[in-house]
């Protein structure tokens, strides 16, 4: 199952103990499902847990059963077609069946618990979230433009900071920051999934830190090898010209050790001296050898 599927599975385990919250969740479902009109309410889902939750949810919220339940290839469709039942659904949220656009009725979402239940229903019906190991993106999509704008306002009132955009005639509310996704999932009832996002981020940060360190070490090694090669070439020229034997003992020792340990950096090479010398002292001696051995 995908990460989004795991999130919805966790959300579907949330109890339906309060009728007001059940209604709020159903409200979120209806405003973000496939079809919600005065003639039809239809919810199509690929998630078995959500399909199994819907009859219980609607019974708790409205004492209403679905009129149609059918299975398609990998999908379940649940629909309310009875006119009296549809009137009941619209009436429960103060919606005008004759209105041209659906709106979020904030009056039925006064309690904070109901607002989060509404957001949970919105995610179950119209939400998705990418695998945090790959990317950070959570979105809620509705075909009702006014409801989408009001959802954005509702989320901002609750302290979230989503962004909004239009896509193929639908309104999309989304997050692209891992910490915002964590907060949202926790609020709507998926703390385990939120922890999964946090863990994925920590693993990414750790891997990134390791990669940066490896790259830095590789770059430093390249610089060490390049510098050592230049020093060795200068020392070879001094040997060939007979000048090396005429230099002070300290320069001869530095030259001999550099030829013996071409892969050592300054710190390692400095420790091979008898007695050991500082990096700055060794660096001064090697630079002197480079000057003398310059072509």
Reduced to 3 DSSP states, what percent helix, strand and coil does the chain have, rounded to the nearest 5? 60, 15, 25
pLDDT in tens, 108-160: 898 999 999 999 999 999 999 999 989 999 999 998 888 889 999 999 999 99
pLDDT over 90 (residue 235) = no
pLDDT over 60 (residue 188) = yes
pTM: 0.71
**Rounded Cα–Cα distance for residues 271 and 1 (Å):** 57
* Confidence at residue 221, expressed as pLDDT on a 0 to 100 scale: 67
CB 272 within 8 A of CB 286: no
pLDDT in tens, 83-101: 999 999 888 888 877 776 7
pLDDT over 80 (residue 240) = yes
Q: Could you tell me whether strands 75-80 and 68-72 are parallel, antiparallel, or unpaired per DSSP bridges?
A: antiparallel
**Rounded Cα–Cα distance for residues 133 and 54 (Å):** 30
By CB atoms closer than 10 A (0-12, 13-18, 19+), residue 17 is exposed
Confidence of residue 255 (pLDDT cuts 50, 70, 90): confident
Confidence of residue 228 (pLDDT cuts 50, 70, 90): confident
**Which of residues 212 and 236 earns the better pLDDT score?**
236
**Which of residues 248 and 29 earns the better pLDDT score?**
29
Which structure tokens are listed for 86? 């549809």
């Amino acid at each position: 199952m995908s990460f989004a599927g795991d999130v919805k599975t966790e959300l579907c385990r949330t109890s339906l103990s309060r009728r007001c919250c059940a209604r709020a969740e159903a409200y979120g479902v209806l405003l973000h499902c496939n079809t919600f009109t005065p003639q039809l309410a239809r919810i199509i889902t690929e998630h078995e847990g959500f399909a199994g939750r819907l009859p219980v949810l609607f019974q708790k919220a409205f004492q209403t059963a679905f009129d149609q339940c059918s299975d398609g290839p990998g999908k379940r469709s649940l629909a309310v077609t009875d006119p009296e039942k549809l009137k009941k659904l619209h009436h429960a949220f103060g919606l005008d069946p004759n209105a041209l656009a659906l709106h979020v009725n904030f009056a039925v979402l006064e309690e904070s618990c109901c607002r989060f239940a509404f957001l949970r229903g919105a995610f179950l019906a119209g939400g998705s979230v990418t695998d945090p190991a790959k990317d950070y993106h959570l979105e809620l999509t509705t075909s009702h433009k006014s409801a989408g704008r009001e959802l954005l306002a509702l989320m901002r009132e609750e302290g979230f900071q989503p962004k909004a955009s239009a896509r193929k005639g639908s309104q999309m509310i989304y997050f692209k920051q891992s910490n915002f996704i964590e907060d949202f999932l926790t609020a709507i009832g998926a703390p385990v999934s939120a922890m999964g996002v946090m863990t994925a981020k920590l693993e990414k940060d750790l891997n990134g830190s390791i990669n940066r360190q490896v790259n830095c070490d590789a770059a430093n090694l390249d610089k060490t090898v390049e510098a050592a090669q230049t020093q060795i070439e200068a020392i070879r020229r001094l040997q060939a010209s007979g000048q090396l034997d005429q230099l002070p003992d300290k320069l001869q020792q530095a030259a001999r050790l550099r030829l013996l340990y071409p892969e050592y950096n300054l710190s390692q090479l400095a420790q091979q001296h008898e007695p050991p010398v500082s990096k700055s002292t060794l660096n001064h001696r090697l630079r002197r050898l480079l000057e003398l051995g310059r072509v």
